Amino acid sequence: MTFRNLKLIEPLLEAVAKQGYTAPTPIQEQAIPHILQGKDLIGIAQTGTGKTAAFVLPLLQLMSQSPRRTIPKSPRTLVLAPTRELAAQIDESFATYGSFMRFRHTVMFGGVSQVHQVRAMSEGVDVLVATPGRLLDLMNQGYVNLNHLEFLVLDEVDRMLDMGFIVDVKRIISKLPTHRQSIFLSATMPHSISELANTLLRHPVRVEVAPQATTVKLVQQKVLFVDERNKTAILLELLRHEDLRCVLIFTRTKRRANSVAEVLTARGIRAEAIHGNKSQGQRTRALENFKSGHARVLVATDIAARGIDIDDISHVMNYDLPVDQVDYYVHRIGRTARAGAKGTAYSLCASHERDALREIESLIRMHIEVMSHSFHSNTARDAVGAAARPPPKQQRGQRRSNENRQNRRQYRSR
C-alpha cells in the first residue's frame, strides 16, 4: 500500500514524499478513504500511530476539491485539541502537508496574547486549530463565527474528557451547522465518549488500529524497585551509564518536574521542565530546546506532555508511576518507539507505587522486566543536598544487596 493507492492528489503526495514517508500507517490506510468519501468517522488509535496525518491529508484534499473564498471570522475546518502543544503541532502538520497548496490556517490557544489570533481570524482562514477555552472566549467576544463550518475534528477526545473540557466542547458544537463532516479521534473509547459520539456524529465509520490495552510492541519496558528517597540518585546513574540520548521523564506533580530538572541541570545534564504553570513562551522554548537537541532531557507532567509529538525520543522514564490513572502509562511509553524505531521505558517503582504497577501489568497483559541495580544510597543524599556522611562501603553494599533481594521477593510474591 502506498499513499498513491489512497488516491491523494499530487500536491499532497509531493508533500508526503518530501517528509520521507513512503507508506501509510494502519490508521491512515483505514481512515483516509472514509474521510475522502465524506463520512463521519470515529478513530481509535494510540499516540505515535500517524493519526494527525490521517485527518489532515484528506481534509486538505476535500477543501481543494471544493474551493471557497475565505470568509472573515469563519473557518471551513475546525480542529479542537486538549492542549496548547498538541494544537500547535496539528497546525504545523497542516503547514507541512499543505506546503504545495494555497490555503490559510491559524492556531488559537490561551497563555498568549489574543491579538495575532484575532487578526488572523479577521483576515479569514480555511483551517482553525484551537483549544476549547480560548476558542469559546473569542467566540463570545464575536471574533469567531462557526456558521459556515464544513469539517469538525475532535482530537484526543478522551483527554478532553479527563481535563473537564467536554462542557466547553458541547457549547462550541451547539454553534455549528447541522450539516457538516465530523471526525472523533481518541486513544480510548469509554462509554461517556461513545454516548457523545452517538449524539454528534451521523452514521459514523469506526476505525480501530490498536486495542486500548495494547502497548507499543517495540518498547522495551523495565522496572527498578527503589526506595523513594533514592529515585534521583538512580535517575542520575541511569543517565550517566546508559545510552539515554533523548529522554522524556514523567513526574506526578509540577513541583517535582521543576525539582528534577533543576537537579539534572546542576549535575551538568541539560534539562527542561514543562507543565501547566509554565507560560506558553516557556513551554514553547522548552520544546524547541528538546527537539533541537540543545536539551537532552525534558521533564513533564502528563497533561503538558500530551501534545509532545517527537519521533526520536530514545527513552521514556517514569520517575513517578501514574498511581491515580494507570492508563496514562500506555500514553507515556508510547512517546518512544515511534515511526518504526525502537525505544526503552524505565519505571522507578517505590513501595507505595506497587499497587499501581500491578494494575499497569494487568492493563497491558504482561509482566514488566525487573531490572536489578546497585546504586549508591549516598548519591541520593548528595543529589538533594543533604550533608550526612555516607556509610562505609562494605555496609552500604550489604544494605543495597538486602534491599534489592527484599524488593524482588515482595514483588514476586504478589
> 286-299 pLDDT, tens per residue?
988 998 889 999 99
Q: How far apart are CA 303 and CA 82, in angstroms?
A: 9
Q: What is the pLDDT of residue 411?
A: 45
Question: What integer pLDDT is reported at residue 305 of this predicted model?
Answer: 66
Give dist(CA 52, CA 93) in Å, integer.
7
Query: What pLDDT, in 10s, does the model give residues 125-162?
Result: 999 999 999 999 999 999 999 999 999 999 999 888 87
Residue 229 to residue 412: CA distance in whole angstroms: 23
* Average pLDDT for the chain: 85
Q: How high is the pLDDT of residue 74?
A: 97
User: Model confidence over 229-260: pLDDT tens digits?
Assistant: 999 999 999 998 767 889 999 999 999 999 99
Q: What is the pLDDT of residue 339?
A: 59
Q: Assign 366 a pLDDT band (cuts: 50, 70, 90).
A: confident
The CATH code of domain 219-412 reads 3.40.50.300
Kindly report, as residue ranges, where domains of CATH 3.40.50.300 are found in the chain: 4-208, 219-412
Residue 276, pLDDT score: 78
Please report the pLDDT score of residue 391 as a whole number: 39
Q: What is the CATH number of domain 4-208?
A: 3.40.50.300
Give the Cα separation of 290 and 271 in Å (integer).
8
Mean pLDDT over residues 88-111, rounded? 95
* 181-207: average pLDDT: 88
Residues 293-327 pLDDT 10s:
899 999 999 876 666 777 788 899 999 999 888 87
